[in-house]
């Protein structure tokens, strides 16, 4: 029998371990077109917090008591679908469990490129695509732009930093703590903001801009919202573009966002756009081409924070909200 995490109660504020319960999924024979996958890597992502609330959103809420879902990479152990064979490495969305039965139409084989399989849950998967299309399409960033990225040490942000540098932009990345900031610098960032250093982000960003000799930012890639968003408004240049894909700062608290610099929107003709990576699925080939080039050149830097074993999954998930990850947060089954 497969084991899976289910949501036992809808969290109020920060989720607790008691909101999760391990359940078993009875074995059953495969239907036509299905495959059975032994999951090797499970993804935890901030957006999953939204699915824990019982509100209509861009993905439906998790059903209480049923297996949760999320990105996963694994190996086919039984197949009843044409074109899928035992031993194939695949990715799919039936995560939060050690074994999954999935219609083959919802399964993608991993490309045969020389990177570890779990990279397809991070920089070469949804988080990477989020960074890529957010930067290049939503914010229309171009060579010469000054780009500010929050959560720059995360799976999405670390991709944004590297794509931006590869395309000739000046990059300022924000991360929490000296270690993460060092890593963001090692990715190529021209300056960093350590948001845990006790200096307001609006001030720290101003200092960072001085060190790169710029009077403001052209692009803000927002993973966190709140104080970072306000700082970006405060330092936005004329016609700055903001791509917003996450607001981890308010996912748990549900608190109102206080913006002191919002009125700069007008005089500086700032554009703020929210987006979801799935809007760009039909453009995946562009992403694969450009990220593949970085992989081939050997310049793509990648880190993972790995928790071991299905039992550790809630720990990994909760760690996202305390800044517990450098690079992609993963669970190895």
State the nearest-atom distance from the C-beta of 73 to a copy of itself, in Å: 25
What does residue 216 show for φ and ψ, rounded to 5 degrees? Answer: 170, 180
**CA nearest neighbour of 204 among 214, 187, 213, 191:** 191
Q: Residues 20, 221, 251, 280: which binds a copy of itself (CB under 8 A)?
A: 251
Q: Which stretch binds a copy of itself (CB under 8 A): 148-156, 165-173, 242-250, 287-295?
A: 242-250
Q: Which stretch binds a copy of itself (CB under 8 A): 6-14, 16-24, 30-38, 259-267?
A: 259-267
Give the residue ranges of DSSP H helices in 95-236.
Answer: 126-133, 155-166, 178-186, 201-211, 226-234
State the nearest-atom distance from the C-beta of 50 to a copy of itself, in Å: 8
State the nearest-atom distance from the C-beta of 29 to a copy of itself, in Å: 38
Binding of a copy of itself at residue 321 (CB under 8 A)?
Answer: no
Which string of DSSP letters, residue by residue, matches 184-221?
HHHTT-SEEEETTSSS-HHHHHHHHHHHTT-SSEEEEE
Binding of a copy of itself at residue 267 (CB under 8 A)?
Answer: yes
Binding of a copy of itself at residue 268 (CB under 8 A)?
Answer: yes
Q: Are 331 and 316 in contact (CB under 8 A)?
A: yes
Q: Residues 102, 219, 231, 247: which binds a copy of itself (CB under 8 A)?
A: 247
Binding of a copy of itself at residue 266 (CB under 8 A)?
Answer: yes
Q: Is 181 helix (H, G, I), strand (E, B) or coil?
A: helix
Report which secondary-structure segment, H or E, holds 292.
helix 284-296
Distance CA 17, CA 20 (A): 6
Distance of CA 97 to the CA centre of its chain: 20
Binding of a copy of itself at residue 279 (CB under 8 A)?
Answer: yes
Binding of a copy of itself at residue 257 (CB under 8 A)?
Answer: yes
Kindly calculate the radius of gyration of the chain based on its CA atoms and give it in whole angstroms.
20
Size of the site for a copy of itself (CB under 8 A): 31
Q: Which stretch binds a copy of itself (CB under 8 A): 67-75, 158-166, 201-209, 274-282?
A: 274-282
Handedness of CA 88, 290, 276, 96 (dihedral sign): positive
Distance CA 279, CA 333 (A): 30
State the nearest-atom distance from the C-beta of 289 to a copy of itself, in Å: 25
Binding of a copy of itself at residue 283 (CB under 8 A)?
Answer: no
**What x/- string results for residues 200 through 229 when contact with a copy of itself is judged by CB under 8 A?**
-------------------------x----
Q: Which residues bind a copy of itself (CB under 8 A)?
A: 50, 57-58, 225, 244-247, 250-251, 256-260, 262-276, 279
């Amino acid at each position: 029998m497969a084991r899976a995490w289910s949501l036992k109660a809808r969290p109020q504020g920060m989720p607790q371990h008691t909101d999760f319960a391990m359940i078993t999924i009875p074995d059953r024979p495969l239907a036509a077109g299905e495959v059975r996958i032994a999951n090797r890597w499970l993804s935890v992502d901030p957006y999953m917090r939204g699915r824990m609330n019982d509100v209509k959103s861009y993905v439906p809420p998790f059903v209480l008591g049923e297996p949760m879902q999320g990105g996963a990479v694994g190996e086919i152990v039984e197949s009843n679908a044409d074109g899928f064979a035992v031993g194939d490495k695949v990715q799919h969305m039936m995560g939060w469990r050690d074994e999954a039965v999935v219609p083959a139409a919802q399964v993608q084989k991993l490309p045969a490129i020389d990177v570890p399989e779990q990279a397809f849950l991070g920089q070469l998967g949804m988080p990477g695509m989020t960074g890529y299309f957010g930067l290049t399409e939503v914010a229309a960033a171009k060579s010469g732009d000054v780009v500010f990225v929050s959560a720059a040490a995360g799976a999405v942000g670390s991709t944004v930093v590297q794509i931006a540098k590869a395309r000739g932009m000046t990059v300022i990345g924000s991360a929490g703590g000296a270690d993460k900031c060092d890593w963001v610098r090692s990715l190529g960032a021209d300056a960093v903001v350590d948001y845990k250093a006790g200096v307001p982000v609006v001030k720290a960003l101003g200092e960072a801009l001085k060190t790169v000799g710029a009077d403001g930012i052209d692009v803000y890639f927002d993973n966190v919202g709140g104080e970072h968003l306000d700082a970006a408004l405060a330092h936005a240049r004329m016609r700055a573009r903001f791509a917003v894909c996450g607001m981890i700062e308010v996912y748990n608290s549900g608190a109102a966002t206080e913006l002191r610099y919002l009125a700069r929107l007008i005089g500086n003709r700032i554009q703020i756009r929210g987006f979801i990576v799935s809007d760009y699925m039909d453009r995946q080939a562009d992403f694969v081409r450009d990220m593949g080039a970085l992989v081939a050149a050997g310049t793509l830097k990648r880190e993972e924070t790995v928790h071991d074993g299905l039992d550790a999954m809630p720990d990994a998930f909760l760690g996202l909200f305390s800044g517990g990850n450098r690079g992609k947060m993963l669970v190895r089954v």
